[in-house]
């Protein structure tokens, strides 16, 4: 695989890219979190994204570059990153580094809606933008759309700043219940983060946030309740978990004014399905076409993992407390799926010589969720871990050192325990939904694995330790952020709201905590072995 070698502030890193139609150097840098200065939409108009070619044979200067860059700059191999497309290995030096940002470029492909919002495709010369937001417990993802042409302009993802009130939803709900001041702080944090990401996108693309006329927000139920300052305390009562929860902004006009978008912009917070089954799940069901054929199972892995199963007549839905395990934030060596994280591991010939794939190349700083799955599966297959999650005697002290040259990247017994509890909760959810739908695992037509966690997931590794049912890997789809993709469809489609109401009417929410055999199923699912799928009621 060819690679882009980047020199910035005397630090060298590598960004692998695929052959074929390539992204520009600017897009590769944005995706790797090494942003170059920019003030246009990547068309070469601003002339800010300066890089210097150190080595490599690539396309010559474009017409825009010859207009903007001086002959002296071109003679020194200075180019515009947005106009430079690498064909083979290329080494560059960043001349104009952008200011640091907490928001990373979102590389997910835009959805292709079949019906567009009235603004899309009109002959009006009026500029109109739309913003789609997926508000998660750990991350917030957003995309900015040109509503006139139905085109995605930019996307960002970053940390939810509410984590300072707690990594899990229950801690944040308790904090909000302590005082109105805490509740307002939590709402303000989420709103300010959305605004910050929007401004980051607009400033990078030379756009005016005041021309954003539509905002659509989906998310899990607690995050939407906190954002809208709705009464979130019923979410702490299990009897409310299957009841509809309405999350509405008290004053969309005030919200729009504070955000700096168009004062008459519509701000649509899509209400969740029930207590712990959010509108992010509904958006994912719509984006994947889960209800196109019976036997479709969707699992959206996250801090609050949500699941849905379509049996042909009913959409069965539930949620399970995954905690930060699938984000790998709680592991001692864990980190999100970003630059420097180990996202996959395999072994070649020598059983315990591990071969890593690191996002962005370079030295590993930690391990993300998909890498953790590979690691646990390999250690289990080599006898380093037992089926109960205990380390063999040789590693029973400080755990397993993942990379000898980085002793801090170490898997501990506590990390394995945390993963097992999250995996077991998912297992209970899958088995319960199948039982309610009177389906067996063999009758599953497809499994949609959703969320950032699943983008680099090794399906065989996940199946071997019981995270996914043992069905043909060909029937398992790694779908990425379906919540945002579905939110984009709602933003762009005039029939989106009515389509979503149709989904609601066909859905039944299951409260796992009220399952009579929850404890038995949970204990069975703790084992690091293929998931048991025998019938139960």
* 110 assigned to some structural domain: yes
Among 261, 279, 297, identify where a domain stops: 279
Q: Would you say 387 and 380 are in contact if contact means Cβ atoms under 8 Å apart?
A: yes
What's the pLDDT score for residue 113? 47
Same domain, 111 and 31: no
pLDDT > 90: what percent of the chain? 49
Which run of H or E residues covers position 477? strand 476-480
Asked if 477 and 470 touch (Cβ cutoff 8 Å), the reply is no
Say yes or no to pLDDT of 462 above 90. yes
**Max mean pLDDT range (45-49, 254-258, 407-411):** 254-258
CB 283 within 8 A of CB 483: yes
Q: Which residue has the higher pLDDT, 455 or 478?
A: 478
pLDDT tens digits, 296-319: 999 999 888 999 999 999 999 999
* 110 and 240 both lie in a single domain: yes
User: Helix axis angle, 180-205 relative to 252-259, nearest 10°?
Assistant: 50
Q: Closest Cα to residue 453, out of 304, 259, 333?
A: 304
List the structure tokens of 193. 């983060």
Q: Compare 355 and 284 and report the one with higher pLDDT.
A: 284
Above 80 in pLDDT, residue 9?
A: no
Token pair for 329: 């934030």
Task: Specify the pLDDT at position 218.
Answer: 96
Cβ 173 vs Cβ 235: under 8 Å:
yes
Domain final position from 256, 279, 302? 279
* 13-27, 164-178, 301-315: which is most confident: 301-315
Model-level pTM? 0.81
Nearest to 190 by CA among 239, 141, 237: 141
* 217 in any annotated domain: yes
Task: Answer yes or no: is pLDDT of 109 > 80.
Answer: no
CB-CB neighbours of 87 under 10 Å: 12
Residue 268 and residue 259: Cα distance in Å, rounded? 14
Beta strand pairing call for 151-159 and 139-146: antiparallel
Q: How far apart are CA 49 and CA 79, in angstroms?
A: 8
127 plus 181 within the same structural domain:
yes
**214 and 258 fall within a common domain:** yes
Residue 53, both tokens: 């070619």
pLDDT at 537: 47
One domain for residues 176 and 229 = yes
- What integer pLDDT is reported at residue 43 of this predicted model? 80
- Assess whether 90 and 135 both reside in one domain: no
- Domain membership of residue 409 (yes or no) is no
Mean pLDDT of the chain: 86
49 and 190 housed in the same domain:
no
In this predicted structure, what is the pLDDT of residue 412? 85
Within-domain flag for 194? yes
Residue 115 has pLDDT above 50, yes or no: no
What's phi and psi for 62, nearest 5 deg? Answer: -80, 175
Q: Regarding predicted confidence, which is higher, 325 or 380?
A: 380
Query: pLDDT band for position 119 (50/70/90)?
Result: low
Q: Which of 222-226, 230-234, 255-259, 421-425 has the lowest mean pLDDT?
A: 230-234
Which domain-ending residue is among 27, 61, 94? 94
Residue 149 maps to which CATH number?
A: 3.30.420.480
Q: Is the pLDDT of residue 173 over 80?
A: yes
- Note the pLDDT tens digit of each residue in 481-528: 999 999 999 999 877 778 888 899 999 999 988 888 889 999 999 999
Claim to verify: residue 226 and residue 117 sit in the same structural domain: yes
Res 98: pLDDT = 74
**Assigned domain for 435 exists:** no
Give the domain range for residue 86.
3-94
Same domain, 126 and 260: yes
Torsion of CA 220, 222, 226, 227, to 10 degrees: 10
**pLDDT tens for residues 228-248?**
999 888 888 887 788 888 888
Same domain, 136 and 265: yes
Give per-residue pLDDT as tens, 58-100. 678 999 899 888 888 899 999 999 999 998 899 999 987 776 6
Give domain status of residue 481, yes or no.
no
For residue 376, what pLDDT is reported? 94
Q: Output the pLDDT for position 534.
A: 66
Q: Where does the pLDDT of residue 166 fall: very low under 50, low under 70, confident under 90, or very high at 90 and above?
A: confident
The Cα 192–Cα 195 span in angstroms is 5
Q: What is the CATH number of the domain that holds 71?
A: 3.10.20.30
Ranges 72-81, 120-129, 304-313, 442-451: which has the least confidence = 120-129
- Strand, helix or coil at 91? strand
Contacts of 376 (CB under 8 A, 6+ apart): 385, 411, 416, 419, 461, 465, 528
Q: Both 86 and 189 in a single domain?
A: no
Residues 78 and 124 in one domain: no
Residue 294, domain member (yes or no)? no
What is the pLDDT confidence band of residue 329, given thresholds at 50, 70 and 90? Answer: low
**How much is the average pLDDT of 370-382?**
93
Check whether 121 has a pLDDT greater than 50.
no
Residue 129 falls within a domain, yes or no? yes
Strands 446-450 and 296-300: parallel
> Angle formed by the axes of helices 413-437 and 518-525, to 10°?
130
Question: Domain tally for the chain?
Answer: 2
Any idea what the Cα angle at residue 250 is, between residues 244 and 255, rounded to 5°? 120
Sign, Cα dihedral of 249, 251, 256, 262: positive
């Amino acid at each position: 695989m060819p690679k882009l070698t980047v020199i910035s502030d005397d630090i060298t890193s590598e960004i692998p890219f695929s052959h074929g139609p390539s992204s520009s150097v600017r897009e590769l840098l944005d995706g790797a979190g090494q942003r170059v200065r920019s003030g246009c939409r990547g068309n070469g108009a601003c002339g800010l994204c300066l890089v210097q070619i150190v080595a490599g044979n690539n396309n010559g200067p474009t017409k825009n570059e010859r207009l903007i860059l001086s002959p002296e700059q071109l003679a020194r191999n200075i180019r515009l990153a947005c106009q430079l497309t690498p064909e083979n290995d290329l080494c560059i030096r960043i001349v104009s580094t952008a200011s640091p940002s907490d928001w990373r470029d979102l590389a997910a492909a835009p959805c292709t809606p079949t019906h567009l919002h009235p603004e899309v495709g009109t002959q009006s010369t009026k500029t109109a933008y739309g913003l789609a937001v997926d508000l998660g417990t750990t991350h917030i993802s957003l995309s900015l759309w040109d509503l006139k042409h139905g085109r995605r302009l930019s996307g960002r993802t970053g940390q939810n700043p509410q984590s300072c009130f707690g990594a899990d939803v229950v801690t944040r709900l308790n904090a909000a219940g302590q005082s109105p001041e805490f509740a307002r702080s939590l709402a303000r944090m989420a709103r300010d983060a959305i605004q910050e990401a929007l401004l980051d996108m607009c400033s990078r693309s030379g756009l005016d946030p005041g021309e954003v006329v539509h905002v659509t927000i989906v998310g899990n139920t607690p995050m939407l309740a906190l954002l809208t300052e709705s009464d979130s305390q019923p979410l702490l009562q299990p009897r409310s978990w299957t009841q509809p929860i309405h999350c509405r902004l008290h004053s969309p006009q005030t919200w729009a004014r504070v955000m700096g978008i168009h004062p008459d912009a519509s701000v649509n917070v899509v209400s969740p399905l029930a207590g712990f089954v959010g509108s992010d799940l509904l958006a994912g069901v719509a984006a994947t076409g889960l209800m196109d054929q019976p036997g479709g199972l969707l699992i959206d892995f996250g801090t609050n993992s949500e699941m849905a199963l379509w049996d042909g007549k009913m959409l069965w839905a539930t949620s399970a407390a995954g905690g930060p395990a699938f984000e790998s934030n709680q592991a001692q060596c864990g980190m999100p799926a970003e630059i420097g994280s180990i996202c996959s591991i395999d072994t070649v010939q020598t059983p315990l010589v591990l071969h890593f794939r690191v996002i962005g190349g370079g030295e590993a700083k930690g391990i993300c969720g998909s890498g953790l799955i590979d690691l646990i599966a390999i250690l289990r297959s080599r006898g380093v871990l037992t089926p109960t999650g205990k380390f063999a005697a040789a590693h029973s002290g400080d755990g397993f050192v993942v990379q000898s040259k980085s002793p801090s990247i170490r898997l501990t017994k506590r990390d394995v325990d945390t993963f097992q509890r999250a995996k077991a909760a998912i297992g209970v959810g899958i088995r319960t939904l199948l039982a309610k739908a009177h389906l067996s695992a063999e009758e599953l037509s497809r499994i949609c694995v959703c969320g950032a966690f699943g983008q680099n997931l090794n399906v065989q590794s996940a199946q071997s330790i019981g995270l996914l049912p043992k069905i043909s890997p060909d029937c398992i789809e790694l779908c990425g952020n379906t919540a945002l993709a579905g939110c984009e469809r709602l933003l762009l489609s005039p029939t989106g709201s009515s389509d979503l109401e149709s989904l609601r009417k066909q859905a039944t929410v299951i409260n796992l905590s009220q399952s009579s055999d929850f404890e038995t199923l949970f204990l069975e699912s703790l084992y690091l072995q293929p998931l048991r799928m025998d019938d139960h009621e």
